[in-house]
Structure 1
């Protein structure tokens, strides 16, 4: 045998032996050595292995090979956070791929969000959910059918009860949306035209959602003392849950304004009595002392909003209504704590309080408010809650983390990170374990998001890895769009969306249609 042939055969043998002996790659991704909060049981130092879009193993010192290993030593490893109350529908359906990534959420470890809250969105839930197939998104999302969208389509903006035919039409829209994958019915009973609906109307529509296995979610009729009062609004939720036989969720639970601050213990007692009586009632909360809404919603009496913006502007010019209108605005301004408690966050008067605008214009705050609204209805940040109420609600095991993400407020960019930094790490209001489970596990379980909210074999690989020393909100009321710090890795459906603290640009999110109750849809 010639020397070259001998060398060739020996080389072939070596190559063959190497291929046969090469260790088999068992997983695509291994997150190694972090403190794992799985959503079940106590935390431990260990590993999470991912293949495809699923978690395949979770445990201590896994002996497993992976195409890529991420060193998570010193980090917290948790299920991707789930935000049950957002207003991110427009961004998720945007033509701009960068917006559809939802970077403000990914950089906090939020991998799933709900839309259509406060009665908003569209009755055409199917189209909304199908959008992700042609417009890839960075996070998972589920959608409600919104009462406001339904009522506006059938009745318009008028303050009146529906006719029988209109009630039938609204029932049909809700039922159709549920069959298209809606989570349930959401309401914003504080906002016109939903505020014009009586409880009985809401109960009837909630029964339709319940028949399809859905839930009821509500921005309650009054978080303050505008109409029925905070206590009365909570009692209405309890009534709807009982009469419609539906699980009920209170959106962004709070005691808003000077008249109701300090009422958290009474509200908690009412909810827990209802839960003890067998009703399935929960809530979510954002960790900020300021709420976010519009100047009209903050200050205009409901009667002045009958018929929508065109009718409101006409009333501004009706001398016979001037005294009544001013009295209503003055009273609502008092409830909000005064003109210096309302920070305008968009439009001509960006980042100025209503008090600043009034001084600049040489007018009283009521006249200034009317002048601003004539131009547009800008978003405002309203400083109206007490820390005692915030922490009282936060400690309850049935209160989830949420953001109520809407423009001009730092809660889009910082709610989950702020809750950890302020209320877990600094003030020790709740434990890290409670924070994680109420930011992921409780939400997934209560809303029936199968395969999410826990780090366990078989579940979808939605994972956040964050630094317990630096995870914090950087957004402020003056600079609300600053990204949070401290998140090292985010995995969405097995795809790395944040890598070493930076967005990868990969859009691996999915629409999450709710499965209607078997036999409830045609």
Structure 2
């Protein structure tokens, strides 16, 4: 008797190989047999019928915002219903569990989850929101924080260089922390410093850190922001190829939407936000400083982000104005009796920031860049999503639909990439990236993380106007041998496990390595 049988499915094993018909047997948390000969249903304590369906390794989400909240939504339904079995909380900005190991040990959740040590977190602990370089002593303290994270199970170090206060860091500071992660067999994952006019230089910076710190590097949500930069993916992808040809391990990932989502801070020059809200208010109160801020904001608006069309900034959550969820900056301008000029936009953005800021969806990308990045052989996928409750707040639709959107829109409807290659980029490629080589493939001995879906119906349903809609087409999801989604219904099971480092083999004593690189 086997614990679980998955019968009559078309197997796409995650390696890029073509689909074939087979049955799969699971005992405990592992795959114990894959047979092209028919297995008997009576030989399984539980049986999942996959007739007419694809059976694939569980999808691995390369970046989602679950690092401090997964315990609050342990079933992770909006992720599970996409077929995601493992989530990489690559963090890159904001808070993180610290110390990490006790948090990992306490988790009882449905998906597997991996964590990173965050540059932003370390910098805040030592420098707060100061806009300056650390002293040698302060840099050593930051390195100690990263080392503790790595010893606690982190997969590597992550940066969010577009956000305050990480944006105040020079490349040398980032490299010094990446070297610590490298000592522990970690990888470097980055939300780049600039995804607009400076996107080419930002890709070069990621490559430079990888080279100088001797560490594999990954670009989170590779994108090209702002109409003035559309088409630059040709250059950024060429840079990745050139670096790989030199022997560097550079990969990247994306979500399949032409709009990003983040806080209002990205609409301001980072120096203007140094020191927090009080300091920002003081700068705005000074006419000369405000004039400088407005001038730099105009460039951000017109070149880096959405241009003169105020409807391209769509609010998710506005401090003190819940009625504006889903509405746009253009709507706000109209209700104020304004013409909706770029100058109006600047005034409104400053007002909103003074009142607590907002999160928004920024419609600022081009479909051709998305397709070009998606077709690159070293591109993986992510949601960049939030753990959401159905009907709560106003999320970006990627939180509900990223992986089904790739399979429905880009594989089935447009033929941008074929099904076997898309599955490889969702499974074995990201599994190998984090050193989880016993996941991401359907083979005997691998962990039984398995997604079963209908290739004819799988699609995303969430939209920018009505985001709270689950994806459809995923029938069964199994994690560590236990069904968490059966016949389209959650089982309530929480078999997920921490995905811990090292992501790469450690060749020497990590502690001795760190001692050699301390300032």
Gaps of 5+ in 1: 1-24
Matches for 1:44-123 after TM superposition, within 5 Å:
44-63=20-39, 65-94=43-72, 99-122=73-96, 123=98
Matches for 1:238-387 after TM superposition, within 5 Å:
238-297=207-266, 299-335=267-303, 336=305, 337-338=307-308, 339-347=310-318, 348=321, 349-363=324-338, 364-387=344-367
Task: Tell me the C-alpha RMSD between the 2 structures.
Answer: 1.5
In terms of mean alpha carbon deviation, does 314-323 or 80-89 score higher? 314-323
* Other-structure match for 1:196: 168
Answer whether contact 2:90 2:189 (CA < 8 A) is retained. Answer: no
* Other-structure match for 1:14: none
Answer whether contact 2:14 2:441 (CA < 8 A) is retained. Answer: yes
Number of residue equivalences: 486
In terms of mean alpha carbon deviation, does 452-461 or 505-514 score higher? 505-514
Correspondence for 1:182 among 142, 154, 164: 154
Matched, 1:233 2:202: yes
Distance in 2, matches of 1:469 and 1:88, equals 30
TM-score, reference length from structure 1: 0.91
Distance in 2, matches of 1:358 and 1:304, equals 24
CA 1:48 to 1:221, structure 2 compared with 1: closer, same or farther past 3 Å?
same
Distance in 1, matches of 2:468 and 2:121, equals 28
* Other-structure match for 2:391: none
- Bigger Cα Rg: 1
- Please state whether the residue corresponding to 1:346 is helix, strand or coil: strand
Answer whether contact 2:67 2:91 (CA < 8 A) is retained. Answer: no
Matches for 1:145-184 after TM superposition, within 5 Å:
145-184=117-156
Distance in 2, matches of 1:475 and 1:88, equals 20
- Please state whether the residue corresponding to 1:114 is helix, strand or coil: strand
TM-score, reference length from structure 2: 0.91
Distance in 1, matches of 2:66 and 2:475, equals 23
CA deviations on 1:319-373 (whole Å, 9 max, x unpaired) are 2322112212222111222322110111322111111111212342211112222
Matched, 1:414 2:388: no
Gaps of 5+ in 2: 339-343, 387-393, 513-519
Distance in 1, matches of 2:86 and 2:276, equals 33
* Other-structure match for 2:111: 139
Deviation (angstroms), 1:35: 0.6
CA deviations on 1:186-231 (whole Å, 9 max, x unpaired) are 0001111101000011111111110110000000111112xxx111
Distance in 2, matches of 1:310 and 1:448, equals 44
- Please state whether the residue corresponding to 1:343 is helix, strand or coil: strand
Matched, 1:127 2:107: no
Distance in 2, matches of 1:131 and 1:157, equals 31
CA 1:481 to 1:124, structure 2 compared with 1: closer, same or farther past 3 Å?
farther
* Other-structure match for 2:458: 471
Answer whether contact 1:195 1:221 (CA < 8 A) is retained. Answer: yes
Distance in 2, matches of 1:54 and 1:387, equals 40
- Please state whether the residue corresponding to 1:100 is helix, strand or coil: coil
CA 1:269 to 1:116, structure 2 compared with 1: closer, same or farther past 3 Å?
closer
